A = this chain, B = another copy of it.
Amino acid sequence: MDVRTICLGILTRGDATGYEIKNLFEDDGYQHFVEASFGSIYPALNRLTEDGLVSVREEAQEKRPDRKVYSITRAGRTAFLASLLKPLPEDRHRSPFVFAMLFADLLPPERLIAMIDGYIVQAEAKLAQLNASHAKAKTPGEAFANGFGRTIYEAMLEYLRSQRGNFIRQTPSAAVAAE
C-alpha cells in the first residue's frame, strides 16, 4: 500500500492539502494502521498530479503560507478502486518492544520493568484516543476500523497486565536482582 494510494483514498473523502493529510494520521481518524511522512506525501501528490489522478488549486491566502488544495479526479477514483481490487499487501506489525522482550534476561530489572510499564502507558493512550474518536465514526467502515483497533489494544493491555508480574519474576536477571 504505497503513499500514492493512501493519499488517493483520503482524497476520496474530500479535498485536502498535504499538511492536512499528514495530520489525519496523527490526530484521530486513521486508527494507527496507516501513516506517511511529509517526505513521501509531497512527492506522492506531485506525481499524482502529473498522472492526472488529482488536481490542485493554489489558494494564496494573505498572512498565511499558500495552500495547495488537492482534489481527486475521476481518473483518480478509478485508479483507487482498481488498487483496492488488487490483492492487498499483508499487514506488518513491527514491534521493537516485543523484540526487546526476547532479551529480557540481558536487561537490568529496572529497565525491563520500565519498558513494560512504558509500553502499557502508550497502549492506554492509544486506546483512549480510539475511544474518543469512536463516536465520530461517520461510516460503517470507520466504526469497524475503530472497533478493530480498540479490540487489539484492549487485548494487548489485558495480556500485559496479567503477565507483567509473572514475567518479571521468571526472568533470570530480574529475579536475581529482586532478591
Contacts and interface: CB of A to CB of B under 8 A. Distances in A.
Interface of A: 1, 6, 9, 12, 30-35, 80-81, 84-85, 88-107, 111, 115, 122, 139-142, 144-145, 147-149, 151-152, 154-156, 158-160, 163, 167, 170-172
Given A30-B102, A148-B160, 11 more contacts: A9-B99, A12-B103, A12-B106, A85-B111, A90-B96, A98-B145, A99-B145, A105-B140, A144-B163, A151-B159, A152-B152
A102 B158 contact: no
B115 A100 contact: no
Contacts of A6: 99
- Copies of this chain, whole number: 2
Contacts of A172: 140
Contacts of A9: 99, 102-103
B34 A99 contact: yes
- Of the listed residues A85, A95, A103, A149, the one surrounded by the most CB atoms of chain B closer than 10 A to its CB is A95
Contact of A159 (B32, B98, B139, B147): B147
Contacts of A85: 111
29 contacts: A1-B96, A30-B99, A31-B98, A34-B95, A35-B94, A80-B106, A88-B96, A88-B97, A88-B100, A91-B93, A91-B96, A91-B97, A98-B145, A99-B145, A101-B145, A102-B142, A102-B145, A104-B144, A105-B141, A140-B167, A140-B170, A140-B172, A147-B159, A148-B159, A148-B160, A151-B155, A151-B156, A151-B159, A152-B156
